Amino acid sequence: MPENSDFYPQVMQRYSTHPLQAGEHKEFIATLLRVFEEKIFNAREFQAFPVSLIVDYIQRTHVYYLEKKLPEIEQSILLLSDHYESHHPILLALQNFFRHYVLDLSEHIKAEETALLPYIGLLQEAALSVAGFSRFLLARGEYSVDRFLSEHHDTEDELKDIRQTIRLYEPPTTNESLYRILLTQLQLFEQDLRVHAHIEEEVLIPMAQAMEKELDTQLVTLSPSN
């Protein structure tokens, strides 16, 4: 695993609160690092991993965003504002823009954590036991992967808007370092979000759709009309 990679800390920090067992996830993390380094995403590289591992990555990433990355970026914005002698309109707009972005991303994550990911867990259980299949039958009328997709929207473009807003700001000499730090933070976060979206939309969602389709087929087979 390339521990000298610039992205190694960024990838591994989300695993720090719940350390991995020896040898666990190493191939998955190595694949992630290649994506970050090469900026090329190939869904086939992730399709061999179990759905539980993909879900685990998504959940860890949500915690990483909410508890670490977003607070760090917000702190940089506040520091930048504090170092400016007057209330620069661009910085005020940036604070408001980012505050709304955090709320939007938090709602996005909440929808996945409270609906999509538990539903995927239910799909897994349904394939393993009669009790799980029964719970799937009850949930199927209320939720589906297609419903999630119809309500889903990306957040990467909004982050690009934030970066463009920052570029309208011309920092004084005393602020140049904070300005560069903030831009770097946003660029790295934007890339992280893009990888997260690829894994979710091109790997996890197709996996869930395949499981759902298989269970629906079983349901049709078990129907009294057949």
Give pLDDT tens digits for 29-46: 889 989 988 889 999 999
2 phi/psi in degrees, rounded to 5: -75, 85
Residue 139 pLDDT > 60: yes
Q: How far apart are CA 175 and CA 92, in angstroms?
A: 16
- pLDDT, mean over the chain: 83
pTM: 0.84
**174-214 tens-digit pLDDT:** 667 888 888 888 888 888 988 999 999 999 999 999 999 99
Burial of 33 (0-12, 13-18, 19+ CB in 10 A): buried
- DSSP code per residue over 58-101: HHHHHHHIIIIIHHHHHHHHHHHHHTSSS--HHHHHHHHHHHHH
**142-176 tens-digit pLDDT:** 888 988 888 877 666 677 777 777 776 666 666 67
Q: How far apart are CA 205 and CA 47, in angstroms?
A: 11
- Whether the CB-CB separation of 140 and 164 falls below 8 Å is answered with no
Category of 88 on φ-ψ map: left (φ > 0), alpha (ψ -120 to 50) or beta: beta
